[in-house]
């Protein structure tokens, strides 16, 4: 069987992110992490790096406070103020405000990754985000280029060996969070999201092989 590979790893979202989950009442941002992993599909909202691409997987990611903790104390434990980001982007953003929010704006309107792995801003805000998170640093450009080359080299999928390579880089992580077993102290404002979580999709045999 031959399949055309339909993975576009560095396409920023073309719509604002609509939250699927709403755990309430945790007083430790770490407890939100399983929800955020699933919410943002196991990748950094800013640089699009995926857990699968990091030797330490989810340990290289953390809950990022869009409105910084230092300025918005009341939002420190608010799920709707949290994003999923790699530790490097999270550290780079620090306590800055006014940075593009993927929940409010489609990042594809502001940022574009080119075929050679470089990135450019399409707006001033896009360039600002590139500057804040250093999304155009040479190491990251080269890493993106390498992954784009893997995809190009694979061409079409016509062997199990190729599928394995593709799954290694573009499949879902093995340790999908089982959100239905979690009990946030003050409940979940969006319980319908559980059914759509990736763990449940896998259980139903509906999980995409690559993304």
Give the C-alpha separation, 19 to 103, whole Å: 8
State which residue, 54 or 151, has the beta carbon closest to Zn ion: 54
Q: Which stretch binds Zn ion (CB under 5 A): 82-90, 113-121, 141-149, 186-194?
A: 82-90
Given 32, 42, 46, 61, the residue binding Zn ion (CB under 5 A): 46
Give the C-alpha separation, 211 to 198, whole Å: 12
Q: Which residues are registered as beta bridge partners of 62?
A: 85
Number of residues engaging Zn ion in binding (CB under 5 A): 6
State which residue, 143 or 178, has the beta carbon closest to Zn ion: 143
What Cα–Cα distance (Å) separates residue 127 from each residue in 9, 122, 175?
20, 7, 34
State which residue, 12 or 199, has the beta carbon closest to Zn ion: 12
Q: Is 89 in the site for Zn ion (CB under 5 A)?
A: yes
State which residue, 36 or 47, has the beta carbon closest to Zn ion: 47
Instruction: Let me know: does 13 contact 173? Beta carbons within 8 Å.
Output: no
Residues of this chain, 12-31, that bind Zn ion according to CB under 5 A:
none
Q: Which residues are registered as beta bridge partners of 63?
A: 84
Q: Is 130 in the site for Zn ion (CB under 5 A)?
A: no
Q: Which stretch binds Zn ion (CB under 5 A): 15-23, 42-50, 70-78, 106-114?
A: 42-50
Backbone Cα Rg of the chain: 17
Kindly state the helix (H) or strand (E) to which residue 88 belongs, with its residue range. helix 87-93
Tell me the closest approach of the beta carbon of residue 100 to Zn ion, in angstroms: 13
DSSP character for 69? T
Q: Is 154 in the site for Zn ion (CB under 5 A)?
A: no
Given 44, 83, 113, 119, the residue binding Zn ion (CB under 5 A): 44
What Cα–Cα distance (Å) separates residue 20 from each residue in 123, 179, 192, 193?
28, 12, 8, 5
Tell me the closest approach of the beta carbon of residue 45 to Zn ion, in angstroms: 8
Q: Is 47 in the site for Zn ion (CB under 5 A)?
A: yes
Phi and psi at residue 158, to the nearest 5°: -135, 20
Tell me the closest approach of the beta carbon of residue 144 to Zn ion, in angstroms: 12
Q: Is 100 in the site for Zn ion (CB under 5 A)?
A: no
- What number of residues does the chain have? 211
Q: Which residues bind Zn ion (CB under 5 A)?
A: 44, 46-47, 49, 86, 89
């Amino acid at each position: 069987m031959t399949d055309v590979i339909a993975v576009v790893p560095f396409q920023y979202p073309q719509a604002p992110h609509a939250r699927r989950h709403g755990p309430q009442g945790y007083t430790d941002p770490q407890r939100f992490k399983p929800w955020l992993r699933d919410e943002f599909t196991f990748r950094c909202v800013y640089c699009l790096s995926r857990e699968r691409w990091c030797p330490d997987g989810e340990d290289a990611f953390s809950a990022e406070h869009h409105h910084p903790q230092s300025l918005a104390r009341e939002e420190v434990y608010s799920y709707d103020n949290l994003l999923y980001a790699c530790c490097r982007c999270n550290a780079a953003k620090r306590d800055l405000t006014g940075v593009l929010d993927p929940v409010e704006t489609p990042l594809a309107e502001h940022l574009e990754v080119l075929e050679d792995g470089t990135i450019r801003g399409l707006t001033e805000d896009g360039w600002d985000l590139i500057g804040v998170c250093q999304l155009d640093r040479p190491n990251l450009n080269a890493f993106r280029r390498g992954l784009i080359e893997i995809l190009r080299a694979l061409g079409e999928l016509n062997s199990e060996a190729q599928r394995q390579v593709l799954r290694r880089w573009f499949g879902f992580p093995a340790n999908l969070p089982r959100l239905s077993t979690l009990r946030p102290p003050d409940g979940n404002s969006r319980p319908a999201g559980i059914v759509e979580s990736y763990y449940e999709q896998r259980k139903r045999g509906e999980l995409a092989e690559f993304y």
